[in-house]
């Protein structure tokens, strides 16, 4: 069987219509978006939202390309900084007896190259910088992930995680706070730039 090329994904606007040869379909792409990702507190959607928030703080051109699901790292800043974004929250969409314990995954990974369909041999941390995003709000009646004031961010160079002695797979909030102080959305870009150096090593 002949090799199939990678699908070219173009940025959509939201007003695109669904189609059928059997007759008119009165639904647009925005209808799907509203149905599928309106729950911004859910784990899967919150993770993507955190990437979006960090991208806007770093002034990444969101119109240049769509989010790459299979990239080795989540974002690349205009300065060439490769960034991994992790998110966590005290509140979940489901009923809770208590607030969730905050813990972030920092497990090294094997990069999958979508152009060759081949995984790298050795697991490594493939970004220069990790940005840990905590939705810190604790009241379900007023939680709003679109309010940047309800978030705090921790910026950690990958080399610090590589030398972290307690675990190489996850990090709790108290341990994270020994490596970095929380910053606000408006301070995020400045903090990322300050934590990046031209000789930052990955892996």
The verdict on residue 134 lying in a domain is yes
Q: Is the pLDDT of residue 199 over 50?
A: no
For 135-172, how does the pLDDT look when each residue is reduced to its tens digit (9 = 90+)?
Answer: 999 999 999 999 999 999 999 999 999 988 777 899 99
19 assigned to some structural domain: no
Q: Give the domain range for residue 114.
A: 29-195
Q: Render pLDDT for 31-63 as a digit per residue (tens, 0 to 9).
A: 999 999 999 999 999 999 999 999 999 999 999
Count of structural domains within the chain: 1
Nearest to 45 by CA among 16, 15, 87: 87
- Position 21 in a domain: no
Distances (CA, A) of 74 to 35, 186, 194: 25, 20, 19
Q: Can you give the pTM of this predicted structure?
A: 0.89
């Amino acid at each position: 069987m002949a090799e199939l090329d990678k699908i070219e994904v173009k940025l959509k606007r939201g007003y695109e219509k669904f189609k059928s040869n059997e007759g008119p379909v009165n639904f647009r792409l925005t209808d799907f978006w509203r149905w599928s990702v309106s729950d911004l507190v859910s784990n899967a959607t919150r993770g993507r939202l955190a990437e979006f928030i960090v991208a806007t703080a770093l002034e990444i051109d969101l119109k240049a390309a769509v989010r790459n699901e299979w990239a080795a790292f989540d974002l690349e800043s205009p300065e060439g900084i490769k960034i991994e974004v992790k998110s966590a929250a005290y509140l979940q969409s489901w009923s809770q007896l208590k607030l969730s314990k905050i813990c972030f995954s920092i497990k090294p990974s094997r990069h999958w190259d979508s152009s060759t369909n081949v995984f790298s041999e050795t697991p490594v941390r493939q970004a220069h910088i990790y940005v840990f995003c905590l939705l810190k709000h604790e009241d379900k009646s007023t939680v709003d992930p679109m309010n940047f004031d309800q978030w705090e961010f921790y910026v950690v160079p990958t080399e610090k995680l590589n030398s972290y002695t307690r675990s190489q797979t996850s990090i709790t909030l108290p341990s994270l706070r020994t490596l970095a102080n929380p910053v606000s959305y408006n301070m995020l870009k400045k903090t990322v730039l300050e934590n990046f150096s031209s000789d930052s090593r990955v892996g």
